[in-house]
Amino acid sequence: MSPSDEAAKLSALLVKLREQIERTTEAGEIAAVPPADVTNLVSGAVKLYAAAVEEAEPGAKAIPVIDGTVSTTEAMVMACALLRAHRLNPFDLALWFSRTAPGA
C-alpha cells in the first residue's frame, strides 16, 4: 500500500471510530470501555495531532484545528490530564502555549 492509501484507510477508520464513540456515549456505556483502551486511543490521537501540526508548513492553512465539537469542559479535562501525565504545571503550559500559537 502506498502512503496515500494508508492515509485514506486511516481517515475512513477515524470516521467509523468517531461514530462508534458517539453511539457508545449516547447509550451510556462508556464505563464498560476498558480504561487502557481509552488511554491507547487518546495517546494515538495526541501523537497523530502533534505529527500533523509538526509536518504542516509554517503559516499553512492545513494545520489541524480543534473545532467546536469539543466543549470547553472536555478540552480542559483533557488538557489537565495531559499536563498531569507529564508532571507539568500551568507555567509550563504557558511556555508551550506561546510556542505553539498560530503564527508563532
pLDDT of 25 above 60: yes
- For 18, phi then psi, to 5°, come to -60, -40
Per-residue pLDDT averaged across 83-92, rounded?
92
What is the residue extent of each domain of the chain?
Answer: 1-33
Angle in degrees, CA 59, 85, 53, rounded to 5: 15
Query: What is the predicted pLDDT for the residue at 86?
Result: 93
Per-residue pLDDT averaged across 42-66, rounded?
81
pLDDT of 103 above 80: no
